[in-house]
Chains A and B, each alone.
Chain A
Amino acid sequence: ETGVTQTPRHLVMGMTNKKSLKCEQHLGHNAMYWYKQSAKKPLELMFVYSLEERVENNSVPSRFSPECPNSSHLFLHLHTLQPEDSALYLCASSQDVGMGGHQETQYFGPGTRLLVL
């Protein structure tokens, strides 16, 4: 399998549930990202990992907990979510995080459509 994959593709959960989103990249990249795409809003960056170390936390509530066990896998653990957290969650990867004015191209997975009831 190539590119960036995400599972599950669709998820329905109650506000008291705990679930996890999984992302896997098969590109040999060192950086991985979580984005949130809500209706009628621009994509919002949530977290950035570089070589399994978190380098950006974009003021995300603690009910979202990322985990990057290795450079190929990224998880987003969800607990006690709110209905307004319903959105498409996109994972992306890039060769490295942009440094020194150099920007790397990010490649996106298909997303997980999350509905919180």
Chain B
Amino acid sequence: AQSVTQPDIHITVSEGASLELRCNYSYGATPYLFWYVQSPGQGLQLLLKYFSGDTLVQGIKGFEAEFKRSQSSFNLRKPSVHWSDAAEYFCAVADSSNTGKLIFGQGTTLQVKP
């Protein structure tokens, strides 16, 4: 069965520092992968997605992610974090059942220090 693991439950970085959030997935075929962000009291906003092609994907708000099949990873990166990036980040993989089902990781909470 498909699964997604986000090893870091909570991460704190200083404003202006670089960021990497880890995501590992378990999936037999080529996965469809997503990163979403959720600010407090809000729904989920799509940051970026990987369906096929270039393994380095650019998203909104200066985020990017790299798909590495050999490591079953889809880590999210940002070169310089802003205080407004403090939120919860979710990695997800599409289920193979053709019902639109997404399998989500448990999320990583990002705290940004001034």
A31 proximity list for chain B (CB < 8 A): 100
Q: Mark B99-112, 1 if CB is under 8 A from A, else 0.
A: 11111111100000
B56 proximity list for chain A (CB < 8 A): none
Q: Is the CB of A106 within 8 A of B105?
A: no
Interface size on A, residues (CB 8 A): 32
Interface size on B, residues (CB 8 A): 27
A107 proximity list for chain B (CB < 8 A): 46
Distance in angstroms between the alpha carbons of A99 and B90 in the assembled complex: 23
Q: Is the CB of A48 within 8 A of B100?
A: yes
Q: Which of B4, B49, B98, B106 contacts A105 (CB 8 A)?
A: B49
Q: Mark B36-73, 1 if CB is under 8 A from A, else 0.
A: 10000111111001010000000000000000000000
Q: Is the CB of B98 within 8 A of A100?
A: yes
Whether a CB of chain B sits under 8 angstroms from the CB of A111 is yes
Q: A90-B43, A105-B49 are in contact. Are A42 and B100 (CB under 8 A)?
A: no
B101 proximity list for chain A (CB < 8 A): 45, 48, 56, 58
Q: Is the CB of B42 within 8 A of A40?
A: no
Q: A108-B43, A108-B45 are in contact. Are A41 and B100 (CB under 8 A)?
A: no
Q: Is the CB of B99 within 8 A of A105?
A: no
A41 proximity list for chain B (CB < 8 A): 106
A45 proximity list for chain B (CB < 8 A): 101-102
Q: Is the CB of A42 within 8 A of B49?
A: no
Q: Which of B29, B44, B98, B107 contacts A99 (CB 8 A)?
A: B98
Q: Is the CB of B107 within 8 A of A33?
A: no
Whether a CB of chain A sits under 8 angstroms from the CB of B21 is no
A48 proximity list for chain B (CB < 8 A): 99-101
Q: Is the CB of B94 within 8 A of A103?
A: yes
Whether a CB of chain B sits under 8 angstroms from the CB of A11 is no
- The minimal Cβ–Cβ distance linking B16 to chain A, given in whole angstroms, is 29
Q: Mark B19-35, 1 if CB is under 8 A from A, else 0.
A: 00000000001001010
A-to-B contact residues, CB < 8 Å: 4, 6, 31, 33, 40-43, 45, 48, 50, 55-56, 58, 90, 92, 94, 97-101, 103-111, 113
